[in-house]
Amino acid sequence: MDDRRGLLIILSSPSGAGKSTLARRLRDWDPEILFSVSATTRAARPGEVDGQDYHFMTEPQFRAEVSRGAMLEHAHVFGNFYGSPEGPVRSAIEAGRDVLFDIDWQGAQQIVNSALGQHTLSIFLLPPSIAELRRRLESRGQDDAATIAKRMNKSWDEISHWGGYDFVLVNDDLDATEAKLKTILTATRLRRSQQPGLTEHVRALQAEFEAL
């Protein structure tokens, strides 16, 4: 019996803690893991494909989806709405596919409290130190000094919510943290709630036992 229900894998961390790198490594390790495609009300940028990069919606469409409970989580960021549609995620996990979410603590909380909450695996990544977090942000060479300062100011608010996650890992060594993530995921896939065939299997065992 190897059928299973998929997981909603939530990865959260302050910027610079290694979340994006570890998410990519997880998907390289298991290409069957899907990355959640968010819905947004912002306009598509050149080269972006609807349904692949984002599900692009008008604001009335987005609000209607939220009203009928079709978003696992949503937020208003810099003048636009962003959210995770429930339909594609539910279809994926019922087909035994895991879905990976790269979201903040607020989105994570909404998903955990959603109709699919029992199938979540939430993991928070901590940096080894604040000094190292700053060093990583600076070494990426992606942001100017003002943006780095903004990310650093936001980092403590994010870190302060570490207690709301199933697992918390200090990412002081990327390879070691990757190995721990794989162990956590492998074990959680065997959780009772993820094995829909268990009840029927136990009933078959009971019937076999009673026939003795």
User: What is the token pair recorded at 27?
Assistant: 């998907």
Using CA atoms, how far apart are residues 199 and 203, in angstroms rounded to an integer? 6
Is there a contact between 33 and 98 (Cβ–Cβ < 8 Å)?
yes
Question: What's the pTM value of the predicted model, to 2 decimals?
Answer: 0.85
Between 78 and 7, name the one with better pLDDT.
7
Say yes or no to pLDDT of 1 above 60: no
pLDDT in tens, 97-132: 999 998 889 999 999 999 899 999 999 999 999 999
Backbone conformation region of residue 57, classed left if phi is above 0, alpha if psi is from -120 to 50, else beta = beta
Query: Where along the chain do its domains lie?
Result: 8-36+97-210
Please name the CATH architecture into which domain 8-36+97-210 falls. Answer: 3-Layer(aba) Sandwich (3.40)
Is there a contact between 155 and 14 (Cβ–Cβ < 8 Å)?
yes
